[in-house]
């Protein structure tokens, strides 16, 4: 998921450089959303692993 966020970030940067503001804004929004979802899932997995132990 972090890879997708980085891909949308790159698309947003490239679109911004070439002047496509709408596409850049949409891609940056998607990248930001995916990044925050990734961070939330990462924290949940850390907490779950700490509570359950290393029995996975």
Q: Can you tell me the mean pLDDT for 47-55?
A: 83
In angstroms, the CA 10 to CA 12 distance is 5
Q: What is residue 42's three-state secondary structure?
A: helix
CB 9 within 8 A of CB 29: no
Predicted TM-score (pTM) of the model is 0.71
- What sign does the CA torsion over 5, 8, 9, 10 have? positive
**Upper half-sphere CA count for residue 19 (Cβ side, 13 Å):** 0
**Sorting pLDDT into bands at 50, 70 and 90, what band is 16?**
confident
Tokens 């804004």 correspond to 25
């Amino acid at each position: 998921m972090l890879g997708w966020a980085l891909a949308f970030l790159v698309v947003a940067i490239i679109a911004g450089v070439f002047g496509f503001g709408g596409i850049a804004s949409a891609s940056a929004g998607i990248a930001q959303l995916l990044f925050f979802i990734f961070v939330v899932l990462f924290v949940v997995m850390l907490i779950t692993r700490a509570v359950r132990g290393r029995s996975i």
